[in-house]
């Protein structure tokens, strides 16, 4: 996946799945993890089937757009 010259690494995706900053439930019981880093947030949308994790999509977005007010 290319975006403005950056390539997402498997390590970043793994951190977002194993140690997310937040997890929310999405459409049709999909799970969405957010891992915040600097000005960006890494979204990993996935679902679980038994003991298998199926990654649907991964993308970065501006943190200010998705960060919840605390």
pLDDT in tens, 11-66: 777 788 888 989 999 998 899 998 888 888 888 999 988 889 898 988 888 888 87
Q: 12, 7, 9, 49: which is closest to 33 by C-alpha? A: 12
Q: Is 63 helix (H, G, I), strand (E, B) or coil?
A: helix
Residue spans of the domains in the chain: they are 2-66
15 or 6, which is more confident: 15
The burial of 16, by beta-carbon neighbours within 10 Å (0-12 exposed, 13-18 middle, 19 or more buried), is given as buried
Task: Give the model's pLDDT for residue 1.
Answer: 45
Rounded distance, CA 19 to CA 36, Å?
11
Task: Give the model's pLDDT for residue 46.
Answer: 93
């Amino acid at each position: 996946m290319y975006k403005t010259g950056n390539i997402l690494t498997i390590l970043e995706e793994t951190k977002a799945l194993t140690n997310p900053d937040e997890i929310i439930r999405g459409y049709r019981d999909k799970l969405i993890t957010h891992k915040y880093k600097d000005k960006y947030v890494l979204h990993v949308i996935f679902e679980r089937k038994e003991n298998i994790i199926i990654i649907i999509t991964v993308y970065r977005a501006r943190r200010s757009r998705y960060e919840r007010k605390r």
